[in-house]
Amino acid sequence: MLRILDARTGEPVAAAPARRGLTRIEARAPGADLTSLRVLLTADLLARALELTGLQVWPTAPGRPAELSAAADALAVRPFEEAHVPGAGVVWVVAGDEDVPGAEGPVVAVAPVKRAGEGGDPLRDPSLLGDPTALRLALLSVPHGETVTLDEAAVRGAAERLAGWRRDVAGWARQPSRPVPEAVRGRLKEAWEDDLGMPGVLAELAAVAADPAVADGARFETFAYADRLLALELTRDIGTFA
C-alpha cells in the first residue's frame, strides 16, 4: 500500500481512500518557479504510483501559470485540470511552507528547489531545461521532502546517467526477454510505496544494472517496468545502437 507522510500530522497515511474509487490529487503550484515545477512533478509521481495499483486518479492544479504548464509538459508531467472541488477524498500536494486551511485529506509537503548562482528566469534557463528529462531525473534523485540545489553540473550529471542507462537498455533489448525478478519488483514497490521514495527506486535500478546474476532480458524488463513511474524514456534508444 502506498503511504505518504501527512504534513499536517507528521505521520504516514494511506495515499488513497480505503474504497477503490476515484482519488483526486490537487497540486498547489501558483508560481512560475522551480519549486512549483517540483510540486507538479511530485503530484505526477503520486498519480502514476496510484495508477500502478489499479486506482483511478483525477489530478488538478488550479491557477497555475501558463509558463509553468509549458515547463511541466517538457518534463513529461501529465496534464492537470483547472478544477477545484473542495471536500473529502483529496490528496493535497503543496510547497512546504503553504497552509491548506480545512484540508480533510493528507497533505504532501514538497521542499524548495534552489538555483545555484543568480540571474535569469530559471524556467527558461537552457542549462537546466536544455534536457528536460535530465532535469526530471535530477529532481527525482532527491527525496521530495528535502531541498534541492540545482546547477548546470547537477543536470549534466543526470544527463550522463540517463545516456548510460538508455544505452544499456538498448543493448539488453536485443536479448531474450525475462520476467522482472520478484525480489527486485518487491524492492522497487517497497521504495516507491514509502512516501514516493524515488532515490530508492533509482538505487535499485543501479543495483540491477550492476548485478551479473540478473539476465539482460530481466534487466530490460525491470527498467521498462520502473519507467512507467519514472517517465525517463529509458527505452527511447532501442534500435539505435548496433
User: Would the pTM of this model clear 0.95, i.e. be above it?
Assistant: no
| Owner of C-alpha cell 514538497 | 110
- pLDDT for residue 85: 64
- The domain spans of the chain are 3-151, 158-230
- What pLDDT score does 87 carry? 56
- CA–CA dist 154, 139 (Å, integer): 10
pLDDT at residue 230 in the model? 98
- Pick among 1.20.950.20, 1.20.120.640, 3.40.50.1400, 3.30.2010.10: CATH of 158-230: 1.20.120.640
Q: What is the pLDDT of residue 146?
A: 96
pLDDT of 100: 76
Q: Which residues of the chain have pLDDT under 70?
A: 17-20, 84-88, 117-122, 126-127, 241-242
pLDDT of residue 141: 97
Beta strands in 62-206 (DSSP E): 90-95, 107-110, 113-115, 148-150
Do residues 30 and 61 lie in contact, with contact meaning Cβ atoms separated by under 8 Å?
Answer: no
Residue 89's region, left for phi above 0, alpha for psi from -120 to 50, else beta, is left
CB 47 within 8 A of CB 108: no
